[in-house]
A and B are shown apart, each in its own frame.
Chain A
Amino acid sequence: MMTQVPRRPWTQRWHVKPIGWTVLMVGLLIASSRMTGVDVAMFFGNLGQFTELLVRMSQPAWDYLPVILNPLYETIQMAILGTTIGAVFAVPFAVLAASNLVHNRWLRGGIRLILDLVRTLPDLLLAAIFVAIFGIGSTAGVVTLAIFSFGMVSKLFYEVIETIDMGPLEAMESVGANPLVIIWYAVLPQILNQFVSYFLYTLEINVRASTVLGYLGAGGIGVFLQRSLNEFNYSQTAVIILATLVVVMVIDGISNHLRRVLL
């Protein structure tokens, strides 16, 4: 009969891991609040200014609404075009990055590395660079959104491709079909619905992103956002934000409904 109590190793007895993590977290917190100059007293001291700003924002200037309708449409148009261009370019890359279609490890790894690098770049940073190249206007916005959604869509797409049933592919391979025919008849029918669903999801994110791209001159409603903020005209800012909110929610609603029907 076992009468001995199981012994705990000393790391457990002295709680080394939890204490270590706590010390690490507290250390990081102190270091980062030093580095960023966080000052709680200053925030509450200046709270008056902040609430004044909120009060001015809570009185939206509704007569500004007709002015921003066109830029709002432009924002949606930018998002649609950018997402589409990005998705079209993403398809061949997704096929090449899928481990069940491409057996060459080096090719796949190379493609995935490119996609990972593209995904690290934040959208506003891309916008700043493309405004420098294309000049101020919606062209820079469309190109920014195209590259941004290319990185995102290609990853979602190759993950979908990797989950397909390989049976139809093998059947067509065994009767000697060429790769393009196999993709058209055996791969595409399995993934089309999910592709469209992820496309709509990316469109939702791009509509959100495109509303601020204009802040750096890349077209759309963001241009007016920046103008109103620079002129300290916060009641106009409030109208812009509320209108953006409505647009984002309508697009989200439509896209959510379509995705539920698709899947």
Chain B
Amino acid sequence: MQTTLSKKPLTLTFWHRWRWLLWLVVVAVIYLWAVTGLHFTGLQESAAAVSRSIVHGLVHPDWSYVYNGSGEDLVSLIFQTLAIAFLGTFISALISVPFAFWAARGSHEWLHVRSRSGKIILTLIRTFPEIVLAIMFIKAVGPGSYAGVLAVSIHSIGMLGKLFSEAIENMDRGADEAITSAGGNGAQIFMLATLPTIMPEFISYTLYRFEIAVRSASILGMVGAGGIGTPMIFAIQTRNWPRVGIILLGIVLMVLLIDSLSEQLRKRLI
């Protein structure tokens, strides 16, 4: 009796004891593959000189670029970037609501066909690179911030739709049931119970997404979709490091400011 009982745990402990070795081998193989696969080009001879001039440029930013009234200066382009992010996020939040109700899992449904299909669509949108979207929209509406707005508003649906649908799945159904039991119809349930319950979470997620959109709007200009990215890539290509320095400073300040502002608003919402 005693021996039969102690036999089984022994084999288990053997596996438990040596499992780490298997994992070690797997991880080692993956890293070996990663290191040997990449052929590092090595440092260019100019790397040190370039880095030195970059640091010099960052320490001595081109202050004259901050504002010169031409509409192509740092302040106006920062505002343009914020406008792209704001408008894009706003449009995307509106489009995301139907997608979210599509992808949210209901309680009684066979195999969740509707919810599954919605989730797959959202994943596809999320994985489609934003840069490629921007380039496609540039073909449609020409280079400029309009293409940036469209790219942000389509790409954000992927993430906002997912977050919204999770909020719908986890929401409190009490108010819905109360209106149903009082004899309300579908539209009344939606307007008076579902929407007020879900709104704070929707707004909070939208603000969070706006923070991300500000970052992506500041790089969309690198492919020609408006905002601060366009002068940034020009300055890098022409090795105008003082200009790069002031633009970097502007982006960092903008992102820090927007992040803290949005965090304050979100704290007051929930």
Contact surface of A with B, Cβ cutoff 8 Å = 28-29, 31-33, 35-39, 42-43, 46-47, 49-50, 53, 73-74, 76-78, 80-81, 84, 116-117, 120-125, 128-129, 132-139, 142, 208, 211-212, 215-216, 219, 225, 229, 237, 241, 244-245, 248-249
Q: Which of A32, A120, A125 contacts B87 (CB 8 A)?
A: A32
List 25 interface pairs A-B (beta carbons < 8 Å), by A numbering.
A29-B90, A36-B145, A36-B148, A42-B141, A43-B141, A46-B141, A49-B140, A77-B35, A77-B37, A77-B38, A80-B34, A117-B252, A121-B248, A121-B252, A124-B131, A125-B222, A128-B233, A133-B44, A135-B44, A138-B40, A212-B131, A215-B223, A241-B128, A248-B127, A249-B127
CB closest residue in chain B, given A232: B139
Whether the pair B256, A116 counts as a contact (CB closer than 8 A) is yes
Most chain A CB within 10 A, of B42, B124, B136, B148, is at B136
Closest chain-A Cβ to B251's Cβ sits at a distance in Å of: 7
A125 CA to B131 CA, complexed, in Å: 13
Q: Is the CB of B236 within 8 A of A128?
A: yes
- Confirm or deny: B246 has a beta carbon within 8 angstroms of a beta carbon on chain A: no
**Contact indicator B35/A81 (Cβ below 8 Å):** yes
**Chain B positions near chain A (C-beta within 8 angstroms):** 30-31, 33-35, 37-44, 47, 50-51, 54, 79-80, 82-84, 86-87, 90, 123-124, 127-132, 135-137, 139-141, 144-146, 148-150, 215-216, 218-219, 222-223, 226, 229, 232-233, 236, 239, 244, 248, 251-252, 255-256, 259
Q: How far is the CB of A249 from chain B (nearest CB, A)?
A: 7
CA distance A120 to B253 in the complex (A): 9
Q: What does DSSP make chain B's interface, helix, strand, loop or mixed?
A: helix
Alpha-carbon distance between A78 and B34 when the two chains are bound, in angstroms: 7
- Min Cβ gap A242→B in Å is 10
Q: Are B50 and A122 in contact (CB under 8 A)?
A: no
Q: How far is the CA of A249 from the CA of B127 in the complex (A)?
A: 9
Please report the C-alpha to C-alpha distance between residue A122 and residue B40 in the assembled complex, in whole angstroms: 24
Q: What CA separation (Å) do A84 and B32 show in the bound complex?
A: 13
A36 with B87, Cβ < 8 A, contacts A125-B251, A215-B131 known? yes
Q: Which of B34, B54, B139, B223 contacts A133 (CB 8 A)?
A: B54
Bound complex: CA of A129 vs CA of B131, how far in Å? Answer: 18
Interface SS majority for chain A: helix
Given contacts A121-B252, A124-B222, contact A81 B38 (CB under 8 A): yes
* Docked-complex contact B136 and A125, CB < 8 angstroms: no
Contacts beyond the supplied A77-B37, A133-B51: 4 A-B pairs with Cβ under 8 Å: A39-B146, A53-B136, A219-B38, A248-B127
Give complex CA distance A80, B30 in Å. Answer: 9
CB contacts (< 8 Å) of B82 on chain A: these are 32
Contact A50 B42 (CB under 8 A): no
Please give, as numbers and ranges, the residues of chain B lying within 8 Å of A38 by CB-CB distance: 87, 146, 149
A53 to B133, CA, bound (A): 11
Q: How far is the CB of A212 from chain B (nearest CB, A)?
A: 5
| Contact (Cβ within 8 A) B80 A36 | yes
Q: How far is the CB of B129 from chain A (nearest CB, A)?
A: 5
Q: What distance in Å separates the Cβ of B253 from its nearest Cβ neighbour in chain A?
A: 9
- When A36-B148, A116-B256, A216-B222 are in contact, do A50 and B44 touch as well, CB less than 8 Å? no
